Amino acid sequence: MSQGLAGYVIRRLLWTVPVIVAISILVFLLLRLAPQDPIDSLLGQRYDEEIAQRLRAKYGYDRPLHIQYLKYVQNLFQGDLGVSTKHGDFSVAEVIIPKIRVSAGMGIMAIILVFGLGIPVGVYAALVRGSFLDPLIIGFWLLIDSIPVFVSAVVAPWLFALQLGWVDLTYEGVLHPNIILPVFVMSLPGVAGVARLMRASVIQVSNEEYVRTARAKGLRERTVVVSHVVRNALLPMITAIGLSLPGLFAGSLFVELLFGIPGIARESLQAVLGFDFDVVLGLVLFGSVLFVLANILIDIAYGFIDPRIRITAARGG
Amino acid sequence: MSNRTLGLMMGAVALLIVAVAVVFVLVLSGGDGDDGGDTPARPASDSADRDDAADDRDAASDERDEPDDGDRTTGGICGENRLVTFGDDPATVFDPIQVGDASTAEYTAEIFGGLVTLNLDLEVVPDIAERWEITDGGRVYTFFLRNDVVFHNGRRVTAEDVKYSLERAADPANFSPTVLDYLGDIVGVRDKFNGRADDISGVQVVDEYTLRIELTEPISYFLQQLTYTVAYVVDREQIEDDPNNWTRRPNGTGPFRVKTFRPLEEIVLIPNDRYHLGPPRVDEVVFSLSGGSLSTRFQNDEIHVALVPAVELAGVLSGESELSEFYRPVPQLSFFYLGFNVNEPPFDDPLVRQAFAHAINREAINEVLFFDAALVADGILPPTLPGYSEAISTYPYDPERAAELLAQSRYADDMPRIVLTFSGGGGDPPDNLQAYQQQWREALGVEVEIEAIEWSAYLRELRRGTFQMYSAGWIADYPDPENFLGKLFSGSSRLNHTGYASERVDALLDEAATLGDQEARYRLYHEAEQIIIDDAPIIPTFWTISHYLVRECVQNWVDPGTIVPKYRYIEIDTSGE
């Protein structure tokens, strides 16, 4: 059985290679065929044909496309993602790794916040269903959910920094308390979804026979809820957490822009606007690998939960 | 298996919940610490990870923590002797010869220095050179260097360092985009740049502290050009030791050193205490590159300098906003204009160009769209530029005259399709362009199409001269009329994108370029400027004003409108007055 799983995982991993190669070729071509030119951006009004040619030669843009691509792949295998033209010859890794750290740090806090709030809210809403509290609680979180981030990211600083004076706004690193506000702004809209999922899950589990059995054998209600209902209702949350993992590194553009956080989303925007070839490629490749890996992880997790998927995959895959 | 897996999952979820609790506690306790309002905005202990090199600030700010224990108004951003301002992400490394954009130039000017520099009044003053003599009818400059100038690492600067720096700038292997524009008038720079010579023949070391520079033409604005970054002195030893990474912590001669540089995050400069023109008075200058809501941070007392956001401008100008007391308008050495391709129909007929100029009402646009916060450009040279003249005038708004001129033109009955191109993204064109469009339609009955094009493509097409009509701007590289009139309108300048060529203007520009008498020189430029405006290869539209917010505790804050080392003058009044 475990061998079947290992084979499945290996097959899935092998499949990622052509996917990543295809993505990289596509993005590479899109960038190179666009009517823009990083050297043009770099030199601006001082453009001089001779200097431009020297720079193109320096970055290898003067060679045929397929040679450029092969060179890129060759460097990639040596762990070299290229250099940023916009950030003055900083290596791509040097540019994007700090940004990934920032966005991932915030993403982890956001996931913890979303599930940490959403799960108890959902459980509570399920337990009080039928009373006015249930729609009130879920409605409240839906209300929060329906405020666009670009609104809350403007209103929240005004309220919590200027009016209440609770927080400061300057970005001082992921571990500085100033990060609280942006993290809340990017997480709170997600709570409603988790809460509703958890609520539905709890209600479903509550109708299971083993819950009735637990009650019938005279366990205290508290024990029934905590040990039997909630424990089992948490299962779908695993998938939800898994699904949210790739997004963890994606950052939140509005939050990063409006709070001035040097994260991956802002870097991506800057790289695209500044036409920074290698940085854009590096970011896309990073995102693709992450996305593919997360999907594999989710599939494996499903396999654990539902053996039917595993068997079909092993047979067909 | 399912039991074990289930257990694992339960464990994972439990861990998650514990983590939530821990983070909550951390977050809340951290937040409480911030609530008191008696801690400085950036407690030294929080920046442990950034203080890899210099700890002097921590020590210094610890001492200063004591008097900060008052209320927030006297503490906050004004409680520490450091300036927190904003900046743009540098477009290149801190290598003076690679700098082509204003934001990188601003940092570079603080880190490095050259033979001469500009003071806050935009006058050329000594830097590494103590004095200079101009001989041979303005063709030979002999610079006498100070003997107390040192690089940040303490090494003394000699004439050899200056020669090395200039030759490095002209070295074809370094492809400096600016060397020909600023130093191309030195004998031998072009030969070196084109690989025909190993050194610059026009730069000679006379002795340890004397340098002789020979020019091909006795140009009068050479010293102004020498103030630009490409002429700054760099440390040969450092560059040869670490050719790829020396720009991370460049060893310059300027008033500041780089403490940290994080792209898109911040640049921190610390003083060069041995700076020969007087060391900086602040302990640190922080440029926040993060963008974000600068004005909110300003209001929250977290940053000393910010720009007035567009939505607040009306309120700030009228004095109704609480930000009004911090407002500082600063005229910039720049102007916006509409350029014509004077070789393509219909703008090859000057009457059409003049009609277009008469037809736009810039005063109304300023009032309605810009809250009267811009300056209608009544000329090309901005008012704060040395050599500006009030006597110059542009085409006043006169729709009848505009219609008359158009009727007299070759294209009165047969107007071709007209496209106005600007550099920008999707969405609507800028309001002022739409306003011009409307005014041309009303006054002339001409329908102008507006087209957006991406910046690098815009620049490329500008060079190729394919635009019929375009919206553009120009920022001074050095404060001299030549930088506007010579660069944009001389028949031989590669930055002349209109195709305009006037023998009279070229003659005036050539004469002015080499004239020693400054006043007479300016008069020639004024004459050329008025001819250019009358010929209308461009319509000057607005001079720019930057709308700053500056905290009251920042002393000696100025923006001279161009790249001038200026942060060493700044003092922070920490007394809380």
> Do B499 and B375 fall within a single domain?
yes
Per-residue pLDDT of chain A (317 residues; tens, 9 = 90+): 455 667 877 888 888 888 888 988 998 888 888 777 777 777 776 677 777 887 888 788 888 888 888 888 888 888 788 888 777 678 888 888 888 888 888 988 998 999 999 999 999 999 888 889 999 989 999 998 898 888 888 888 888 888 888 888 888 888 888 888 999 998 888 899 899 999 999 999 888 888 888 888 888 888 888 888 888 888 788 778 877 777 666 668 888 888 888 888 888 888 887 778 888 889 888 888 888 887 777 777 666 666 555 555 555 44
Q: Could you say which of A37, A170, A238 has the minimum Cβ distance to residue B41?
A: A170
| Tens digits of residue pLDDT in B152-182 | 999 999 999 999 999 999 998 888 888 988 8
Domain count, chain B: 2
Question: Using a CB-CB distance cutoff of 8 angstroms, which residues of chain A are in contact with residue B76?
Answer: none
Q: How far apart are CA A209 and CA B53, in angstroms?
A: 65
B261 contact partners, CB below 8 Å, separation of at least 6: B90, B94, B248, B267, B268
Helix (H) or strand (E) segment spanning residue B343 = none
Flag the least confident range among A25-39, B137-151, B526-540. Answer: A25-39
Token pair for B484: 């506007």
Most B-contacting residue of A51, A113, A269, A279 (CB-CB within 10 A), to test interface: A51
Residue B334 structural domain: 329-546
Contact B152, B252 (CB under 8 A): yes
**Residue B45 CB coordination number (10 Å):** 8
Token pair for B369: 């769209």
**Residue that wins the pLDDT comparison between A128 and B48:** A128
Among chain B residues, the shortest Cα distance to A89 is held by: B93
Q: What angle do CA A37, A39, A40 make, to 5 degrees?
A: 65
Q: Is A113 on the interface with B (CB under 8 A)?
A: yes
Q: Could you say which of B17, B302, B494 has the minimum Cβ distance to residue A169?
A: B302
- Whether B54 has a pLDDT exceeding 50, the answer reads no
Closest by CA to A69, choosing from A109, A40, A105, A28, is A28
- Closest chain A C-alpha to B31 CA, distance in angstroms: 6
Most B-contacting residue of A2, A33, A168, A239 (CB-CB within 10 A), to test interface: A168
Residue B429 binned pLDDT confidence (cut-offs 50, 70, 90) = confident
Give the pLDDT score at B258. Answer: 94
CATH number at residue B210: 3.90.76.10
| Tens digits of residue pLDDT in B393-420 | 999 999 999 999 999 999 988 899 999 9
- Closest chain A C-alpha to B28 CA, distance in angstroms: 9
Q: What is the ipTM of this complex?
A: 0.79
Q: Could you say which of A35, A51, A238 has the minimum Cβ distance to residue B457?
A: A35
User: Within a domain: residue B397?
Assistant: yes
8 Å CB contact of B293 and A157? yes
Among chain B residues, the shortest Cα distance to A167 is held by: B34
| Tens digits of residue pLDDT in B347-360 | 999 999 999 999 99
| Tens digits of residue pLDDT in B22-31 | 544 444 444 3
User: Within a domain: residue B207?
Assistant: yes
Strand, helix or coil at A132? coil
> Do B235 and B338 fall within a single domain?
no
Strand, helix or coil at B240? helix
User: Within a domain: residue B414?
Assistant: yes
> Do B339 and B239 fall within a single domain?
no
Residue B572 binned pLDDT confidence (cut-offs 50, 70, 90) = very high
Token pair for A181: 């506000």
| Tens digits of residue pLDDT in B188-245 | 999 999 889 999 999 999 999 999 999 999 998 999 999 999 999 999 999 999 988 8
Cα dist from B266 to B1, B51, B103, B261, whole Å: 52, 14, 13, 6
Q: How far apart are CA B338 and CA B344, in angstroms?
A: 15
Flag the least confident range among A252-266, B44-58, B95-109. Answer: B44-58
Token pair for A55: 């720079």
CATH number at residue B360: 3.10.105.10
Q: How far apart are CA B511 and CA B215, in angstroms?
A: 16
Which residue carries 């224990």 as its tokens? B69
Residue B12 binned pLDDT confidence (cut-offs 50, 70, 90) = low
End residue of a domain, out of B212, B244, B276: B244
Token pair for A19: 């996917």
Q: Is A36 on the interface with B (CB under 8 A)?
A: yes
> Do B204 and B344 fall within a single domain?
no
User: Within a domain: residue B487?
Assistant: yes
8 Å CB contact of A262 and B13? no
End residue of a domain, out of B214, B244, B274: B244
User: Within a domain: residue B274?
Assistant: no
Question: Using a CB-CB distance cutoff of 8 angstroms, which residues of chain B are in contact with residue A267?
Answer: 264
- Whether B113 has a pLDDT exceeding 50, the answer reads yes
B377 contact partners, CB below 8 Å, separation of at least 6: B335, B336, B337, B362, B394, B540, B541, B542, B543
For B109-139, give the DSSP string.
HHH---SEEE-TTS-EEESSEEEEEEEGGGT
User: Within a domain: residue B282?
Assistant: no
Most A-contacting residue of B47, B299, B456, B495 (CB-CB within 10 A), to test interface: B456
Give the pLDDT score at B60. Answer: 37
Strand, helix or coil at B292? coil
- Whether B297 has a pLDDT exceeding 70, the answer reads yes
B32 contact partners, CB below 8 Å, separation of at least 6: none
> Do B353 and B492 fall within a single domain?
yes
Q: How far apart are CA A243 and CA A291, in angstroms?
A: 10
Q: Could you say which of B10, B290, B300 has the minimum Cβ distance to residue A161?
A: B300
Among chain B residues, the shortest Cα distance to A270 is held by: B264
User: Within a domain: residue B323?
Assistant: no
Give the pLDDT score at B73. Answer: 40
Q: Could you say which of B31, B300, B459 has the minimum Cβ distance to residue A177?
A: B31
B237 contact partners, CB below 8 Å, separation of at least 6: B155
User: Within a domain: residue B306?
Assistant: no
End residue of a domain, out of B244, B279, B296: B244
